[in-house]
């Protein structure tokens, strides 16, 4: 396969670079450079190792009857769901977890469906400690955020909250972990870093937000970067999200999409003051204040 074909196959499987690295034995840095285009002429044996990993059967082996064996599924699925962590027993799972002490007593009733066929029943059967998203029937690993990511999320959420208070609007700012059933169906459940909800009909006592928030912000990390900029961008735009912020700590940039005005984003630096589109220009975020928090 060419690098282009490998990238396409990786996307079809819903694999992260870390998962490709784990399954192929190729160092993560090398995988990242190949798929980003930084390495122009990768070694043939390296490409063959990645190709072999991407040709393997998906690590989703069996499915149990969720209604009858929900507790068993929740534990046993950790053997098969792709997550960051040490490889054990041929499966991708954390090196130490409660599943290591559990022996399944249920009998598999059917094979796991392929990516594109999962539902919210499958999503909710996954253990809470395994952070994943469900997008159009595909399950994706979220991984664990680093400190810089969390600092940006915390301080940006506070800034958005001040913005809504200045406007006097009945809006609520919420941050992950919080499920959003974006399309109001059983094929998608996302977990954005920050959402702003201005829905007077939402009481806030549900286990998830049902529908498209007014604004969504995602802070990029190595494991979610591609998905936030492509798959989730399209999902948010098509679902009716009015405004989407992509915060890129690596390049110190912020892309702001105001979908009702222009399908193309406006790019800002971490030193800029950024107007919040859903406020009608009545409030803005001084991102330099958030930038200063990163050095603490």
Q: What is the pLDDT of residues 48-62, one digit of tens each?
A: 889 888 875 443 333
Q: Where does the pLDDT of residue 158 fall: very low under 50, low under 70, confident under 90, or very high at 90 and above?
A: very high
Q: Where does the pLDDT of residue 114 fall: very low under 50, low under 70, confident under 90, or very high at 90 and above?
A: low
Average pLDDT over residues 79-90: 35
90: phi > 0 → left, psi -120 to 50 → alpha, else beta; which? left
User: Which pLDDT score is estimated for 56?
Assistant: 55
Q: What tokens were used for 179?
A: 């499920």
Strand, coil or helix: what is 33? helix
Q: Report whether pLDDT(109) > 90.
A: no
Average pLDDT over residues 24-41: 86
Q: What tokens were used for 122?
A: 């499958």
Please give the distance of CA 215 from its chain centroid, rounded to a whole number. Answer: 16
Q: Which position has the higher pLDDT, 54 or 85?
A: 54
Q: Report whether pLDDT(224) > 80.
A: yes
User: Which pLDDT score is estimated for 295?
Assistant: 77
Q: Report whether pLDDT(294) > 50.
A: yes
Q: Can you give the residue ranges of every domain in the chain?
A: 3-55, 62-141, 147-293
pLDDT mean across residues, the chain = 79
Q: Report whether pLDDT(87) > 60.
A: no
User: Which pLDDT score is estimated for 263?
Assistant: 85
Q: How many CA atoms lie within 13 A of 138 on its CB side?
A: 18
Letter string b/e over residues 48-66, b meaning 16 or more CB atoms within 10 A of that residue's CB:
ebbeebbeeebbbebbbeb
User: Which pLDDT score is estimated for 110?
Assistant: 39
3-55 and 147-293 in the same fold:
no
Q: Where does the pLDDT of residue 233 fall: very low under 50, low under 70, confident under 90, or very high at 90 and above?
A: very high
Q: What tokens were used for 192?
A: 């954005």
User: Which pLDDT score is estimated for 296?
Assistant: 63
d(CA 10, CA 223): 13
User: Which pLDDT score is estimated for 54?
Assistant: 86
Element (DSSP H or E) covering residue 277: none
Of the options 1.10.3720.10, 3.90.1570.10, 3.30.70.1350, 3.40.50.300, the CATH number for the domain spanning 147-293: 3.90.1570.10
User: Which pLDDT score is estimated for 159?
Assistant: 96
**Strand 87-88 relative to strand 91-92: parallel, antiparallel, unpaired?**
antiparallel
Average pLDDT over residues 260-285: 92
**Highest mean pLDDT pick, 28-37, 198-207, 257-266:** 257-266
**Strand 208-210 relative to strand 179-181: parallel, antiparallel, unpaired?**
parallel
Distance between the two ends of the chain, CA-based, in angstroms? 45
Say whether pTM exceeds 0.75: no
Average pLDDT over residues 67-71: 35
Alpha helices in the chain (DSSP H): 3-13, 17-24, 28-36, 44-55, 66-76, 120-125, 147-167, 225-229, 231-239, 287-293
Q: DSSP assignment, residue 70?
A: H
| Beta strand ranges found along 208-264 (DSSP E) | 208-210, 215-219, 243-248, 253-258
Q: Which position has the higher pLDDT, 97 or 276?
A: 276
Q: Report whether pLDDT(71) > 60.
A: no
Q: What tokens were used for 59?
A: 């690590």
d(CA 175, CA 257): 19
d(CA 136, CA 114): 12
Q: How many CA atoms lie within 13 A of 294 on its CB side?
A: 17
d(CA 20, CA 221): 17
User: Which pLDDT score is estimated for 275?
Assistant: 95
Choice among 26-40, 62-76, 138-152, 199-213 with the minimum mean pLDDT: 62-76
d(CA 24, CA 46): 9
Choice among 118-127, 150-159, 211-220 with the minimum mean pLDDT: 118-127
Q: Report whether pLDDT(164) > 80.
A: yes
Average pLDDT over residues 233-255: 95
Closest of 251, 247, 182 to residue 210, by C-alpha: 182
Average pLDDT over residues 27-52: 87
Residues 6+ apart with CB under 8 A from 147: none
CB 213 within 8 A of CB 229: no
Q: DSSP assignment, residue 108?
A: P
The CATH fold of domain 3-55: 434 Repressor (Amino-terminal Domain) (1.10.260)
């Amino acid at each position: 396969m060419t690098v282009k074909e490998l990238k396409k196959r990786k996307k079809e499987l819903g694999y992260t670079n870390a998962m490709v690295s784990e399954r192929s034995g190729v160092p993560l840095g090398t995988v990242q450079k190949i798929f980003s285009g930084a390495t122009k002429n990768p070694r043939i044996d390296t490409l063959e190792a990645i190709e072999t990993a991407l040709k393997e059967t998906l690590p989703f082996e069996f499915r149990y009857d969720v209604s009858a064996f929900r507790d068993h599924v929740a534990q046993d699925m950790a053997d098969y769901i792709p997550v960051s962590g040490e490889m054990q027993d041929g499966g991708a799972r954390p090196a130490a977890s409660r599943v290591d002490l559990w022996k399944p007593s249920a009998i598999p009733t059917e094979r796991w469906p392929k990516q594109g066929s999962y539902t919210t029943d499958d999503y909710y059967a996954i253990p809470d400690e395994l952070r994943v998203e469900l997008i159009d029937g595909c399950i994706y690993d979220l991984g664990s955020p680093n400190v810089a990511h969390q600092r940006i999320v915390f301080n940006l959420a506070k800034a958005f909250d001040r913005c809504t208070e200045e406007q006097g609007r009945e809006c609520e700012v919420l941050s992950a972990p919080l499920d959003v059933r974006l399309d109001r169906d059983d094929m998608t459940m996302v977990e954005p870093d920050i959402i702003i909800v201005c829905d007077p009909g939402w009481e806030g006592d549900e286990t998830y937000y049902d529908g498209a928030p007014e604004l969504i912000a995602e802070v990029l990390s190595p494991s979610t970067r591609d998905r936030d900029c492509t798959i989730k961008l399209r999902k948010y735009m098509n679902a009716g999200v009015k405004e989407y912020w992509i915060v890129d700590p690596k390049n110190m940039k912020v892309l702001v999409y105001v979908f009702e005005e222009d399908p193309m984003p406006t790019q800002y630096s971490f030193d800029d003051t950024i107007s919040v589109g859903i406020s009608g220009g009545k409030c803005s975020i001084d991102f330099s204040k958030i930038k200063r928090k990163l050095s603490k």
